[in-house]
Structure 1
């Protein structure tokens, strides 16, 4: 294993998750076993019945008097046929429903893991990689029960049960079938997994690289065209596809080998059963119908073994997906144990003492022995050049980042020790990037206040001067904004995000360039309304400034927000660049 753990240890967290639906999984495996048992019974009883009726006909033609009950075995054959059909249909329906439920469990757990990662962990990989973890890796892992565990378990149970049944008639036949098909089962599971391990593991990584490169290529299509780099991008994709095709070809060959070996194993078991049963018949230990029934029953096991080679050839991909998801779980911040402290209502104090923060792989720290203090109800503008750490400061205060050294306190408490719900209630942050979902205006606003009535939503839109625009839309608040708010202009998206923040009642407000993309007149009007809303709250403004400036540009936009507080605008402005 890549991480030095055994396959069982790697899959253990996900097996425990499957165990939550143990009842459904056992029921699904039972339906699978019932369908296979019906197939075995159908073929075995049919062989016995055909042979028995044939021998009875020959005996009667020779003048012998005998009786044969055709109704019981005939009814048994019809029962097995009907049971096989119904059980197979019910198994497919039930097990696929179970897998969809498991998929929801897996994705819910992984989303919780990703949500628990801090900003430094998230910054280590591309957005497409995280999407791949949540979709492709989970899709690979959700077949753990339906493709690997259940078929292998049912096949092994069928081999042992049939061997025991045949041993009742001829111990030699039962032992031979158990030995031949037992060895075949081991190869078709562990052997096939071993042969396909490296290629299937690489396939998971190559698929991730292909998806990431394709997605980023589409996102940067304009830049690729502008700089004449489309051909180079296509060549990069072609290289990945060639590697993927080579691994896919190898996996196909390994899977075909497994299918051939499965057929060979069943054929050898059939031949051994037929030869041993024929010898027992010659010795008078078996009747003719039972002798015919024995090898035919073995042939029915082809159905049980046929699905194993292809599934276990791809088992390395399942292990690789589990390892990658386990690695994310390992770096997730531990949740606070015991009751989490809360913060009192009203304005919050902010304190940073001796804070040092460094991103992985960076040459210089973002902060080094940094200090900042904000009293309850106070407003402070912090400005600096791009990359000076303004967004990192917001991440520290919202608990998305932990400092390498020093202490961060909200109302005297470390943000990471607070209950996440209490922390989000107490701190509201308007980030530099506007995050809108492909849903309606109302749904995007209600992220901040799920129970908010329409009148409250209209009031928030009016504060940012979007109410008239929304009212003129054919669907009003039900108008969809598009992926990432693409159906809105940059200024409209920014104001919608600000309106969403106004639906909260926080004690600390962090505003990262709230008026970006707005003209000065509109920004001034909104600033006046925002000033009234900020009354009785602590506020931290993050403002962009070029290096060397003593005050941020567009000071008039901030004047209404900062004046009237216990600190003026220019003197208390903290410059992260200096």
Structure 2
């Protein structure tokens, strides 16, 4: 596959996203063209009018009778001036609104891709890398329409029309203008893109590395200072910054070269057109006013070509961003193909009656590059209403099992069935409704207490929310808050203590009606007396549901009641008790 085909393949997914708003894109390009053609008309008519006025004055001075209609060209000048100003304002307003809509579309598409990745794929990159994908890479792609598609297309169209109009008056000048503008357009697009491709792609990679290193430095500042490694880390940051500045300087030089060539191009086209028009004037083929009008119109092409050098010099950044985001899509596709085949197809219209029967047969998980599997040969079976306690030390595989049951992770081997149907065959909507997983990490948003509770049930009214808080002994505390349920919990729930945040997460369980419940250390961060009270309330709510507890030890005072089976994990290996 040659390079143009590879480029089209890289950009095709994102061009398809743009095509979803093609009516807005066409209208935005039309406004851009209207602005440019108004500028061309303004300079051309102004040049003609000034020259015609001067020639008429000379004729009057020589005693020769002459007439000149000043109203039509004067009106045209006003029309072009007003149109250019109005269309420029509307174009900027409309196109930037379009770009914001496109950014929302692009981020929505990326979020849908990320939602399909399992926990291992998400953990394979740093948080700063994902942030870079969602912000810098997506922001880079917004130039696809506003800088890389519409402006060169409008410039090429304007050059063709201007050359055609010039050819009507002076055919040789029209041909010369078409050749010069076409060659210039090719260099300012393809040539500048070629020059800056490697440097602009490298610049984005270096910027991502610098952002990640800065975030890691800030997060580990205390440890770096304590171990005397802060100076070494600073030198590493300085090296990254130096590489980044080097790339920026190189790209700046290429942009400056493009700007110089663009100015030289339009200047050459203007002078050439003026010379050929002057020869035509000497031959009596055109009037003096037309002779001035043609090169004046060519000068307006500065506006058409001015933005091209910088946009296409940085084209490599856009291409690199598209390739990285495409890699996420490919990773999701590969993940799907590696999943166990589903014997039964399930859609939201035909779900099983319940998801209270759970079976794992020879399930194993091995992370790429790991010395040993996280889980190996795990088999278990739970009937409706049974409760399994999976105990083991940190790193024994409990969290991996929770990720498997929530389908956040795919098994490397073996089969998981839920409700006598392969887990992979369940639709996302049905699985999220039938299975709830309480992980060790409590996820709270910087929103109200009510909004965080309604993540589990968007239709829950305030009475239901208060009942859920009552179940976890938080109702009295919540009533004393300044705004009750409308009180914000802060970013990550930082306005709450660890125990309160954990109980808010538990309260969300009471707003669901699942069949299978997976609880990973449900009472962590909660004192013993509160844990025992929560355990009894949870025991009543879990009646009839299938439950998997993930705990360090199942035979403690705070152990969940009603356990029917116990399984011990050691280094990913199951040991039945």
| TM-score normalised by the chain length of structure 2 | 0.95
Work out whether residues 364 and 412 of structure 2, in 8 Å CA contact, stay in contact via their aligned partners in 1: yes
Counterpart Cα distance in 2 of 1:404 and 1:10: 30
Work out whether residues 348 and 430 of structure 2, in 8 Å CA contact, stay in contact via their aligned partners in 1: no
Show the counterpart of 2:561: 560
Work out whether residues 398 and 569 of structure 2, in 8 Å CA contact, stay in contact via their aligned partners in 1: no
User: Partner of 2:549: helix, strand, or coil?
Assistant: strand
Structure 1 regions of 5+ residues with no counterpart? 545-551
Show the counterpart of 1:383: 391
Counterpart Cα distance in 2 of 1:447 and 1:188: 51
Q: How is 1:144-163 mapped onto 2 (pairs within 5 angstroms)? A: 144-163=144-163
Show the counterpart of 2:66: 66
Structure 1 residues 90 and 347, CA gap change in structure 2 (3 angstroms): closer
Q: Select which of 510, 517, 537 maps to 1:509.
A: 517
Structure 1 residues 475 and 412, CA gap change in structure 2 (3 angstroms): same
Does 1:30 find its partner at 2:36?
no
Does 1:79 find its partner at 2:87?
no
Deviates more, 1:466-475 or 1:502-511: 466-475
Does 1:429 find its partner at 2:437?
yes
Structure 1 residues 522 and 193, CA gap change in structure 2 (3 angstroms): same
Counterpart Cα distance in 1 of 2:62 and 2:526: 105
Q: How is 1:140-219 mapped onto 2 (pairs within 5 angstroms)? A: 140-219=140-219
Q: How is 1:117-516 mapped onto 2 (pairs within 5 angstroms)? A: 117-333=117-333, 334=336, 339=347, 342-346=350-354, 348-516=356-524
Show the counterpart of 1:530: 538
Work out whether residues 397 and 410 of structure 1, in 8 Å CA contact, stay in contact via their aligned partners in 2: no
Counterpart Cα distance in 1 of 2:26 and 2:107: 22
Structure 1 residues 492 and 325, CA gap change in structure 2 (3 angstroms): same
User: Partner of 1:100: helix, strand, or coil?
Assistant: helix
The alpha carbon displacement at 1:295 in A equals 0.7
Work out whether residues 519 and 549 of structure 2, in 8 Å CA contact, stay in contact via their aligned partners in 1: yes
Structure 1 residues 172 and 26, CA gap change in structure 2 (3 angstroms): same
The alpha carbon displacement at 1:84 in A equals 0.5
Structure 1 residues 217 and 396, CA gap change in structure 2 (3 angstroms): same
Work out whether residues 356 and 403 of structure 1, in 8 Å CA contact, stay in contact via their aligned partners in 2: yes
Show the counterpart of 2:112: 112
Counterpart Cα distance in 2 of 1:327 and 1:270: 47
Does 1:542 find its partner at 2:543?
no
Structure 2 regions of 5+ residues with no counterpart? none
Counterpart Cα distance in 1 of 2:509 and 2:77: 70
Q: Select which of 553, 567, 572 maps to 1:573.
A: 567
Give the number of aligned pairs. Answer: 564
Counterpart Cα distance in 2 of 1:210 and 1:232: 15
- Output one character per residue of 1:531-576: Cα deviation in whole Å (capped at 9) or x when no partner: 00000100000012xxxxxxx16622124242xxxx26xxx33334
Show the counterpart of 1:547: none
User: Partner of 1:365: helix, strand, or coil?
Assistant: coil
Structure 1 residues 414 and 4, CA gap change in structure 2 (3 angstroms): farther
Structure 1 residues 176 and 148, CA gap change in structure 2 (3 angstroms): same
Work out whether residues 381 and 541 of structure 1, in 8 Å CA contact, stay in contact via their aligned partners in 2: yes
Structure 1 residues 43 and 57, CA gap change in structure 2 (3 angstroms): same
Structure 1 residues 558 and 338, CA gap change in structure 2 (3 angstroms): closer
Counterpart Cα distance in 2 of 1:75 and 1:343: 71
User: Partner of 1:361: helix, strand, or coil?
Assistant: coil
The alpha carbon displacement at 1:2 in A equals 13
Show the counterpart of 1:549: none
User: Partner of 2:561: helix, strand, or coil?
Assistant: helix
The alpha carbon displacement at 1:339 in A equals 3.6
The alpha carbon displacement at 1:343 in A equals 4.0
Counterpart Cα distance in 2 of 1:442 and 1:494: 15
Work out whether residues 167 and 175 of structure 1, in 8 Å CA contact, stay in contact via their aligned partners in 2: yes
- Output one character per residue of 1:435-458: Cα deviation in whole Å (capped at 9) or x when no partner: 111111111110000111111111
The alpha carbon displacement at 1:465 in A equals 1.1
Counterpart Cα distance in 1 of 2:52 and 2:146: 39
Deviates more, 1:213-222 or 1:495-504: 213-222
Deviates more, 1:412-421 or 1:177-186: 412-421
| TM-score normalised by the chain length of structure 1 | 0.94
Counterpart Cα distance in 1 of 2:504 and 2:560: 22
The alpha carbon displacement at 1:216 in A equals 2.2
Does 1:91 find its partner at 2:85?
no
User: Partner of 2:149: helix, strand, or coil?
Assistant: helix
Counterpart Cα distance in 1 of 2:228 and 2:451: 41
Structure 1 residues 229 and 561, CA gap change in structure 2 (3 angstroms): farther
Deviates more, 1:502-511 or 1:211-220: 211-220
Work out whether residues 382 and 576 of structure 1, in 8 Å CA contact, stay in contact via their aligned partners in 2: no
The alpha carbon displacement at 1:246 in A equals 0.4
Work out whether residues 390 and 567 of structure 2, in 8 Å CA contact, stay in contact via their aligned partners in 1: yes
Counterpart Cα distance in 1 of 2:212 and 2:47: 56
User: Partner of 2:360: helix, strand, or coil?
Assistant: strand
User: Partner of 1:539: helix, strand, or coil?
Assistant: strand
